[in-house]
Amino acid sequence: MNSKIAMITGITGQDGSYLTELLLEQGYEVHGLVRRSSTIERSRLKHLYNDDSVYGKRLFLHYADLDDPTTIRRIVTRTAPAEFYHLAGQSHVGLSFEIPESTCDATAIGTLRIMEILRDQPNPPRFMHASSREIFGTPSVSPQDENTAVNPNSPYGCAKTFATQMTKIYRESHGLFFCNAICYNHESPRRGENFVTRKVTLAAARIKAGLQKSVSLGDLEACRDWGYAKDFVRAMWLMLQQDEADDFVLATGVSHSIKELLEIAFHHVNLPWQDFVHIDDRFKRPADPFQLLGDPSRAEQRLAWKRSVDFEQLITMMVDSDVARTNRQSV
């Protein structure tokens, strides 16, 4: 088995695209699983699969859905990855209240199907499951670490809790190198437009350009522990380079409110955010997880991991990217 072969589910997403770039820089052959759909838009990977020196030589994409274990098994058997990064799943917390069944099928059972496939391999790969801070729901302690009790309060959080616990069970019962990356919010210019950070930075750019008049949001006092996606995928890779498998909280340990997010984003384009923000109760979740703050001490100490940008740098980076994108589109 080639130790430099990796497979990624969710490769076309924010984390998947950054992880692909990191692994290629490290000399890996990268295989990604992508869903069959009516569109082949893969904007986050466009620069890679349009590169003839990379795509088809060191980067390969395979069609497979999480509810199609036969196809996934066939691909895994043929490619024999040494490392498997499982990032795919329905990852929007608010949306999970509207589509709980498909969320649980993809996020919970989809993960279990993959683990069953991997443990049947002659040489099971090292496995990293992208877990979520949502497994803690409304926690009784803050900050949370790897030993904090799970208490999910959304369908997505419940599905992730199942997948997280099963990953631990497979590690402890079957002796497999299976890990959970318990990820707090992590953002970047590649974040989807339906997530609040990108919704705000894009609105700031479009309002500045005269292409949008306002932005509607829910609870402005809601706080999150927001980090940088490129930092998080580096930690994921470091997790699979260790001598022993373990779970790690990936977070910044610093909390910020949506109001702070607005202040930084709109100040960066010289606009008063109060003039452009409307409060809409439709964007308030049925059960919003308060006091979600991660303790990254284990990752910092054992992985020698630390973040490369702070919150203000992250948000201004995202605004700059959206301003540039908006200017290109308006030409």
pLDDT tens per residue, range 267-310: 999 999 999 999 977 766 555 555 789 999 999 999 999 999 99
Q: How far apart are CA 75 and CA 312, in angstroms?
A: 42
The whole-model pTM stands at 0.92
Q: Can 156 be counted among the known catalytic residues?
A: yes
132, 154, 255, 321: the catalytic one is: 132
Sign of CA dihedral 160, 129, 90, 120: negative
207-253 confidence digits (pLDDT tens): 999 999 999 998 898 889 999 999 999 999 999 999 999 999 999 99
Q: CB under 8 Å to 151, separation ≥6 — which residues?
A: 136, 137, 138, 139, 140
Q: Can 154 be counted among the known catalytic residues?
A: no
Q: Can 184 be counted among the known catalytic residues?
A: no
18, 28, 85, 156: the catalytic one is: 156
Q: How far apart are CA 301 and CA 315, in angstroms?
A: 27
Q: How far apart are CA 82 and CA 315, in angstroms?
A: 35
Q: CB under 8 Å to 298, separation ≥6 — which residues?
A: 145, 146, 246, 248, 249
21, 134, 188, 321: the catalytic one is: 134
